[in-house]
Amino acid sequence: MRLPRDVSGDDLAKALGDLGYRITRQSGSHLRLTTLERGEHHVTIPRHAALRVGTLSGLLGDVAQHFALSREELTEQLFGR
């Protein structure tokens, strides 16, 4: 599955909420999300209008590794287009 090109930082934070991530703090234009599912894990997401594809890919890869999924499986689960 191709990565979506129009995902904002806020959209990604909301989608990751389905996996148990919650906003734990905000510093400037970045959100820090934390989940306790399968152990504690943190990700930092820029609150940009549209995330760059490389940034989105890196964030999804990090989350996918934490949940022992492939990036494609995680992308399908979050965005399922």
Give the model confidence (pLDDT) of 5-49 as tens digits.
899 999 999 999 999 999 999 999 999 999 999 999 999 999 999
Check pLDDT > 90 for residue 80. Answer: no
Residue-level length of the chain:
81
- State pTM to two decimals: 0.90
- Give pLDDT, residue 2: 84
Return the pLDDT at 81.
58
Which candidate, 54, 41, 39, places its Cα nearest to that of 7?
A: 54
Q: How far is CA 69 from CA 60, 65, 74, 75, 76, in A?
A: 10, 6, 6, 10, 11
Look at residue 11 in the predicted model and tell me its pLDDT. 94
For the chain, which domains are there?
Answer: 9-79 (3.30.920.30)
